[in-house]
């Protein structure tokens, strides 16, 4: 019983300590990407525009999923339908001139090829994203792989 009371008391002290430290953090001048105190609602920035160029951007690193070079607003991708396949399926690329999805999308987790799109690769936006004109939130010195290889030579 004595151990149980000690454990309860320790937990209560820990919770009070966490609450005090959180309150102190919220009240201080904390630098955030929001540019506003954490305990106040601020006006969100306007939504950035989706780029709709149909120009496929270069990849920044090996095995990066290709970026979507067009708008996908109102595309239905759910268990009933996949709008992406209306252009990117093997049977449609000759008509649409869209890039065919990779053969890896027809493989199961054991590396066996399937006759149709793998359920693991069905929801395209798990990996593929559209591009926008959003400003960078933080400075970066990211260098793509090709630039790094060029610097070594």
Which of 20, 41, 38, 19 lies closest to 29 in space, CA to CA? 38
State the Cα–Cα distance between residues 63 and 67, nearest whole angstrom. Answer: 12
Task: Spell out the residues 6+ positions from residue 138 whose beta carbon is closer than 8 angstroms to its own.
Answer: 33
84 annotated binding-site participant:
yes
> DSSP letter at 144?
-
Q: Would the annotation count 115 as a binding residue?
A: no
Q: Is 21 exposed, middle or buried (0-12, 13-18, 19+ CB in 10 A)?
A: exposed
64 annotated among ligand-binding-site residues: no
Find out whether 87 is annotated in a ligand binding site.
yes
Q: What whole-number distance in Å separates Cα of residue 47 and Cα of residue 63?
A: 29
105 is in an annotated binding site: yes
Q: Pick out the residues of the known binding site for heme c.
A: 70, 84, 87-88, 105, 124, 127-128
Q: Pick out the residues of the known binding site.
A: 70, 84, 87-88, 105, 124, 127-128
């Amino acid at each position: 019983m004595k151990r149980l009371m000690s454990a309860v008391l320790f937990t209560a002290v820990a919770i009070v300590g966490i609450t005090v430290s959180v309150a102190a953090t919220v009240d201080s001048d904390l630098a955030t990407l929001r540019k506003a105190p954490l305990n106040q609602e601020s006006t969100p920035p306007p939504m950035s525009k989706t780029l709709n160029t149909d120009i496929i951007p270069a990849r920044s690193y090996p095995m990066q999923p290709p970026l979507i070079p067009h708008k996908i607003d109102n595309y239905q991708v759910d268990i009933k339908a996949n709008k992406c396949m209306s252009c990117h399926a093997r049977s449609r690329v000759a008509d649409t001139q869209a890039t065919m999805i990779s053969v890896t999308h027809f493989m199961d987790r054991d590396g066996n090829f399937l006759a149709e799109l793998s359920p693991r690769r069905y929801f395209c936006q798990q990996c593929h994203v559209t591009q926008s004109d959003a400003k960078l939130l933080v400075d970066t010195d990211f260098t793509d792989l090709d630039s790094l290889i060029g610097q070594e030579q």
